[in-house]
């Protein structure tokens, strides 16, 4: 898969992702999703650079809430069972679909 390289911003207080991708990686590849189909396909995923996708969620009235989720090897967005682990994704590239860092939901309870 190809997409836009993004940084994973972590808390200095430690990782709370419960062995999510942010525990092992400092960057990810943002790939296209149904909500953001125009993500440029510039960088290819690597073993230590996993893929994530951003989806829109409507939480009450107003603007949609953007959330990033891991993407599996088949390109499926893994939304079920994932929650916020304290990390965010962002890049200085102007093609990033948000003006602010997006929460990365890479934590799972086992």
Domain of 54 in residue numbering reads as: 2-104
Assigned token pair, 46: 């690597």
Give the global pTM.
0.91
Number of domains in the chain: 1
- Asked whether residue 34 is domain-assigned, the answer is yes
* Structure confidence by residue, pLDDT tens digits, 88-97: 999 999 999 9
Q: What is the dihedral of CA 88, 92, 98, 103, to 10 degrees?
A: 0
Q: Are 6 and 52 in contact (CB under 8 A)?
A: yes
- Asked whether residue 109 is domain-assigned, the answer is no
- Asked whether residue 44 is domain-assigned, the answer is yes
* Structure confidence by residue, pLDDT tens digits, 31-73: 999 999 999 999 998 888 999 999 999 988 988 999 999 999 8
- Asked whether residue 76 is domain-assigned, the answer is yes
- Asked whether residue 110 is domain-assigned, the answer is no
């Amino acid at each position: 898969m190809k997409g836009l390289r993004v940084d994973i911003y972590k808390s200095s207080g430690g990782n709370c992702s419960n062995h999510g991708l942010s525990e092992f990686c400092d960057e990810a590849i943002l790939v296209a999703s149904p909500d953001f189909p125009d993500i440029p396909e510039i960088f290819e995923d690597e073993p230590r650079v996993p893929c994530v996708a951003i989806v829109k969620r409507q939480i009450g009235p107003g603007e949609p809430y953007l959330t990033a989720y891991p993407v599996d090897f088949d390109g499926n967005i893994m939304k079920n069972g994932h929650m916020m682990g304290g990390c965010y994704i962002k890049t200085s590239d102007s093609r990033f679909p948000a003006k602010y860092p997006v929460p990365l939901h890479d934590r799972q309870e086992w």
